[in-house]
Structure 1
Amino acid sequence: MTVSEHPFERLTPDFVMDAVESRGFRCDCRTLALNSYENRVYQVGIEEGEPLIAKFYRPGRWSDAQILEEHAFALELCDHELPVVAPLIDHTGTTLLHFGDFRFALYPRRGGHAPEFDHGDNLLIMGRLLGRLHRIGATRPFSHRPRLDLDTFGRESVSFIRENFIPAEYHDNYVALTTELLHILDELINAVAPRYIRTHGDCHAGNILWREDAPHLVDLDDARMAPAIQDLWMMLSGKRRRQSLQLSEILEGYSEFLDFSVGELRLIEVLRSLRILHYSAWLGRRWSDPAFPHHFSWFNTPRYWSEHILELREQIAALQEPPLQLP
């Protein structure tokens, strides 16, 4: 490997098929790269069988114990008959596989379409699913996977951007705004004192497949300890009135299986702020991966930082607003 080569550049179609065949399958030479930036994910055709999904983990991101804990959570949810796409268990009883320098997992392929959250019944169904998921997630904590907290998503992200990316002309504004923002977030999190449970962690429309009139959850790669509202707020959209109605539908279904602490509604803008900070740092940390400059060419431009500064100001204003109220 040359100094400039990124590890993922070694994931050629031949390498991917060799990895899959090392587990006893015979590939039919059809491979399709799927949209994934943090890891690399491929659909691989199998002779005399359904295609498989092969997920190759980004080196250095998760430990083996953290990946196995994610897999165990997915399998636990499946054992309780939740519609979650979990990794396959091989003949040795493991889900985390190795080939060359890579760790990977195999999944069954599941079809489906994006959820339509404009329909209240779909939000009710999603609420029931997440209520069931959180009822299981609340039974015990993760031992190895991290928490979604102010340090990892907030302070560390701000420090990384401040030290490595923010242009000089925006430096003072960025420091002032993030200092104020982090202080507000700290006060709100302490005031709410949320309960942390095992969550999907990244429950947005892109990680939900709707098939056979029901949602199926995919990609628990960001599963972590977090407040329950983390798995709910990304399904909300539009003006406050619309979000309140959406939330009411979700919680109607959710509460059939688990009580929801309404105090966590105060955390919606907190979690949105942390996601904004973390996303910017995530792009910066992955900039040496050739896929990122190619697909996110707008990052680290003067326009991006100008809009980011504005977004931080808007978040500070949003945090001053009262939380969403249920109708």
Structure 2
Amino acid sequence: MPIPFLNLKKINQNLNSELQGAFLKFLDSGQYILGSEVADFETNFANYCESNYCVGLANGLDALILGLQSLDLPTNSEILVPANTYYASILSILKAGYKPVLVEPNIETYNIDSSKIESHITNNTSAILAVNLYGKMCDFEALNRICKDHDLKLIVDAAQSHGGIYDGSKKCIGADVTAYSFYPSKNLGALSDGGAIVTDDAQIYNKIKSLRNYGSSIKYQFEYQGINSRLSEVQASFLKLKLRYLDEELLKRRQIARIYLTEIKNKLISLPSKTSIDTDAWHLFVIRTSYRERLIKHLTEKEIGFEIHYPTPPHKQKALKDFNYLSLPITEKIHDEVLSIPLNSTLTNSELAYIIDTINSFRI
């Protein structure tokens, strides 16, 4: 039974007629850049995230970079960031002109270990960039306490956690800036690239709106050295449509996660944390094993798709050679052992049963 890791065509198939209608409406509007569709989506997504403002951007990396730049941090600022994350989280700090300081994760949640943060704080530390990795919400209570105690800004990379809930809210509580990606594979995915920032701060909101448009708020007048990073009008129309179905998608993902957590029983496999099943976004279902290559062979033979998120930790990447000397054993262990199995709303009961039976039958 061949089961792909992710079939984007199948995921969007049920919305084909609505997406086609949205495209025709966009085409007929004559508004192709920063028109009413972007404005409507920004309002809708801000409301969904229980935030005051949203700025649509070209992609998630730009959201992180502009979010950092909007905070007016000192030029020599150090930004604490989880060592276990996607490369873009760390790249954004460098692109914004600051210094990343890598903090080990909690092996159970894969997110930044709040108990390790304060030992990395120096006089140059200005902010924490936390990541809701794989869709699991961070420990915002601890992060807010640390930020308050040390007068730090909080930026959240929520690229994988659309609709995640913490303390009853879809807001990343206490964040000065929360950055999202709408890459097609995300829980809320466009049909191309896209991103956004949400914030409660009017000053940050207005600065990011300017920065995304070359640094201009008034036509042909430039306050900042900005960039061209505007959410596409047509993608905004698709996202506005798909946002209506996001909670339904999340419900299905949480149901599948619960089934996996209940029915996968193999001592060779470590499962994700069972806390917050009904509140995390479950962008990915990431298992861990010391026998990953053998498990890959087993899944391949059974025609079950998988991905590795991510095979090489950021501090071992060629592009980050200044960090190659670091020894981060927890991060390195995670990157050596993790493997993502299929998790999306198109999976059938028979496919789930087949995946579970295959993993439970894995032996060495």
Same fold (TM over 0.5): no
Bigger fraction of residues in helix: 1
- Band of TM-score, shorter chain: under 0.3
The normalised TM-score by structure 2 is 0.24
